[in-house]
């Protein structure tokens, strides 16, 4: 994609909020671009939101490649970030191979979970010219599917601040910070030169990211950190119910949906 990552630092410096949303398929990605989303993230949340997995650790490189290609086909000039899934960053060389596969699938940037323990991997990838985003706070790949808040006490908040600085020093161009008290996220956004994108981490971050299913209201579950900007589930259930009724009552299809054989041809079939 022809998006220069420099625009995100510029936005931070101008205090313009950066908008990120997850996307898992081409049609929604195209809508996200049309709506003006700055960054589409193919998160490993594709596993639980689309693929019916129980937990992010089930997501494979093949899954990420498949969905990255789909999303990439839907985007013309929006920055595409893709998660390196569980087990794909075991060492810098493996991480590099996998990051290249994601780049080939359309990624402009790869996101890596971890509180600084992946410093060497990030240094290696950025040294090879790959854009990397860190991800601190709640890390589903490490902490499991039950989200919890990190950084409620000074010691853990201090660890988060230190890890953000480690990740920035390793060359990352952005950090996602998930489920961290807003005061701590604000401090991190102030201390780092690179943009800090929050999810469940308050409004003083340099931008926000949400899962597309939560923005559109696909699911039954609601989350404190998210807001439904529409109730897709209710609208979709209504539409599907109408479809079922109209098929069963033979109201659908109707004349406008039909195609007809040439009237001169029909007698040849029945005679
Ligand atoms: O996978 C994902 O959706 C994410 C976001 C929660 C940031 O990593």
Domain count, the chain: 2
Give 17 Cα–ligand 1 centroid separation in angstroms: 18
55-102 pLDDT, tens per residue?
999 999 999 999 999 999 999 999 999 999 999 999 999 999 999 999
Q: Is residue 1 situated within a structural domain?
A: no
Nearest partner of 207 among 218, 216, 222, 197, judged by Cα: 197
Query: Is 225 in the same domain as 241?
Result: no
Outline where 170-211 has alpha helix (H): 182-191
Domain hosting 15: range is: 6-231
Query: Is 28 in the same domain as 144?
Result: yes
Give 200 Cα–ligand 1 centroid separation in angstroms: 11
Q: Closest Cα to atom 4, ligand 1: which residue?
A: 43
Query: Is 163 in the same domain as 254?
Result: no
Query: Is 199 in the same domain as 256?
Result: no
165-223 pLDDT, tens per residue?
999 999 999 999 999 999 999 999 999 999 999 999 999 999 999 999 999 999 888 99
Coil, strand or helix: which one is 126? helix
pTM: 0.96
Query: Is 197 in the same domain as 218?
Result: yes
Q: If you write DSSP's letter for every residue of 32-86 in order, what string do you get?
A: HHHHT-SEEEE-TTHHHHTS--SSGGG--HHHHHHHHHHHHHH-SSSEEEEE--T
16-39 pLDDT, tens per residue?
999 999 999 999 999 999 999 999
CA–CA distance, 174 with 171 (Å, rounded to integer): 9
Q: Is residue 23 situated within a structural domain?
A: yes
Query: Is 256 in the same domain as 174?
Result: no
Residues with CB under 6 A from ligand 1: 22, 43-45, 83, 176, 178, 199, 209, 211
């Amino acid at each position: 994609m022809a998006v220069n990552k420099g625009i995100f630092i510029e936005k931070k410096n101008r205090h313009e909020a950066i908008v990120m949303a997850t996307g898992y398929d081409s049609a929604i990605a195209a809508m996200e671009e049309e709506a003006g989303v700055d960054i589409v993230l193919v998160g490993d949340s594709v596993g639980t939101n689309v693929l019916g997995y129980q937990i992010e650790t089930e997501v494979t490189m093949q899954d990420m490649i498949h969905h990255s290609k789909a999303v990439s086909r839907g985007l013309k000039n929006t920055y595409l970030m893709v998660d390196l899934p569980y087990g794909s960053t075991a060492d810098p060389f493996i991480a590099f191979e996998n990051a290249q596969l994601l780049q080939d699938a359309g990624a402009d940037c790869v996101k890596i979970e971890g509180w600084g323990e992946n410093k060497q991997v990030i240094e290696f990838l950025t040294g090879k010219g790959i854009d990397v985003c860190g991800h601190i706070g709640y890390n589903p790949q490490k902490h499991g599917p039950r989200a919890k808040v990190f950084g409620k006490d000074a010691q853990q908040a201090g660890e988060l601040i230190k890890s953000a600085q480690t990740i920035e020093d390793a060359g990352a161009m952005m950090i996602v910070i998930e489920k961290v008290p807003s005061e701590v996220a604000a401090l991190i956004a102030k201390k780092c030169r690179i943009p800090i994108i929050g999810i469940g981490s308050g409004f003083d971050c340099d931008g926000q990211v949400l899962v597309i299913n939560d923005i559109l209201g696909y699911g039954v579950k609601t989350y404190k950190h998210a807001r439904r900007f529409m109730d897709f589930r209710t609208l979709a259930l209504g539409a599907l119910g109408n479809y079922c009724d109209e098929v069963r009552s033979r109201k659908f299809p109707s004349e406008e949906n039909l195609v007809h054989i040439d009237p001169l041809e029909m007698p040849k079939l029945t005679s």
